[in-house]
Structure formats: C-alpha cells, structure tokens
C-alpha cells in the first residue's frame, strides 16, 4: 500500500472529523444560548402570570432550538462527507437540507400561531368578561388553527376542505359574538335582582 496515499486519507479523514465535531459543538452551544435568550427575554416576561401558557411556549422554544441545532450540524456534516467523496450519504444529506428550510419555516409559522394564540387568550383572561376562560380558549384555538392552515399551504399541502370548514367555524363564532354583544344574558347568568 502506498504510504503517501494512506497519509493523505488519514489527513482528510481527520479534517472531516474535526469539521463534524466543530459543527456539533457550535450547534449545541448556539441552541442553549438562543433557548435561554428567548426564555428569559421573551417568554418569562410575557407569560409571568400564566404558567400554562409559559410551559406550552417553552416546549415550542425547545423544539425549535432543537431543529436549529440539527440544521447547523447537518451543514458541516454535508461538507465533511463531500470532502470524503461519500456521494450517497452526501446526496441524502443534501436532500434533507433542501427540505429543512421549508419544514423549519412551517414550524416557525405554527410556533408564532401558538405564541400569538396564547398571548391573545392571556389578555382576554385578564378582562372582566364573565366567560373569559371559554372566550380565551376559543380565540386561542381560532388563531392556532389559522396558522396551522397557513403552514400547510406553505408546505404545498392542499387544505381546501379544512379551509372551508374553518370559514364555517369563523361564521358561527362571529354570529355567537354578535349575539353575545346584543344579549349577553344568553351566555352568562341572569341578574338575580331581575328575578321576582
């Protein structure tokens, strides 16, 4: 066996392994830094009075930062595989890389919907409405569904039937809100003073 050829292979393999290790370290460190920034800078101040909403958004934060970590790791991994001329693995990684941006953006859209829904519901629950819990839950659900449908459309998934159903639900909710505004007694308890 040619010693020069072997040395070149060892050097190339060492470089590839170093790139992969650095990619893993960078991904891991950035994941924890960004997760803490979002948690302490956004989630805790916004949801300090609503533990349930904080726990839900914190889980989403963990999922998104985990996705970000693996996206960072895959980039140097793909480069290292190309260096080693491992075309099969490189092609698989390249295909994953092409799909990751779309999936990541869809996940971000859904996360924004969940965050926005929780925030809107939290604001409603602090109002003086009699059925604030129910109204908050309805608003939260409507917002989240809207963002999920948007994410599906972004991924190219035909959700026409779901969109039509969603429109019907919105019409029903709009009618309920109008009735509530005109005659709030329907959804709440009647004033006992009015009873004879």
DSSP annotation of 189:
P
Of the candidate ranges 35-44, 105-114, 176-185, the one whose mean pLDDT is the lowest: 176-185
Residue 80's nearest CA partner among 22, 124, 147 is 22
What are the phi and psi torsion angles at 57 (to 5°)? -65, -30
Average pLDDT score over residue span 68-96:
77
Confidence class of residue 30 from pLDDT cuts 50, 70 and 90?
A: very high
Which tokens hold the place of 140?
Answer: 């939260």
- Between residues 111 and 94, which one has the greater pLDDT? 111
Average pLDDT score over residue span 33-42:
91
DSSP string, 45-74: HHTTT-HHHHHHHHHHHHHHHHHHHHHHHH
Residue 77's nearest CA partner among 7, 136, 26 is 26
DSSP string, 168-180: HHHHHHHHHHHHH
Which tokens hold the place of 81?
Answer: 């595989």
Contact of 140 with 121, CB cutoff 8 Å? yes
**H helix or E strand, kind and range, residue 104:** helix 87-125
Average pLDDT score over residue span 143-164:
78
Confidence class of residue 140 from pLDDT cuts 50, 70 and 90?
A: confident
Q: What is the pLDDT of residue 44?
A: 85
Contacts for 55-63: CB closer than 8 Å, 24+ residues apart? 56/114, 56/118, 57/114, 57/115, 57/118, 60/111, 60/114, 60/115, 61/35, 61/111, 62/35, 63/107, 63/111
């Amino acid at each position: 066996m040619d010693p020069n050829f072997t040395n070149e292979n060892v050097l190339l393999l060492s470089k590839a392994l170093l790139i992969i290790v650095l990619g893993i370290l960078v991904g891991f460190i950035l994941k924890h830094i960004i997760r803490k920034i979002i948690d302490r800078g956004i989630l805790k101040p916004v949801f300090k009075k609503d533990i349930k909403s904080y726990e839900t958004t914190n889980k989403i934060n963990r999922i998104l930062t985990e996705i970000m970590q693996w996206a960072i790791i895959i980039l140097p991994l793909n480069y290292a595989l190309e260096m080693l001329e491992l075309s099969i693995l490189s092609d698989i990684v390249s295909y994953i890389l092409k799909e990751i941006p779309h999936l990541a953006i869809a996940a971000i859209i859904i996360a924004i919907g969940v965050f926005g829904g929780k925030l809107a519901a939290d604001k409603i629950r602090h109002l003086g409405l009699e059925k604030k819990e129910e109204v908050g839950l309805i608003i939260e659900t409507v917002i989240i569904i809207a963002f999920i449908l948007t994410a599906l459309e972004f991924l190219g998934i035909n959700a026409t039937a779901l969109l039509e159903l969603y429109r019907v639900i919105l019409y029903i909710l709009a009618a309920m809100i109008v009735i509530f505004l005109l005659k709030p007694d329907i959804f709440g308890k009647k004033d006992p003073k009015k009873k004879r």
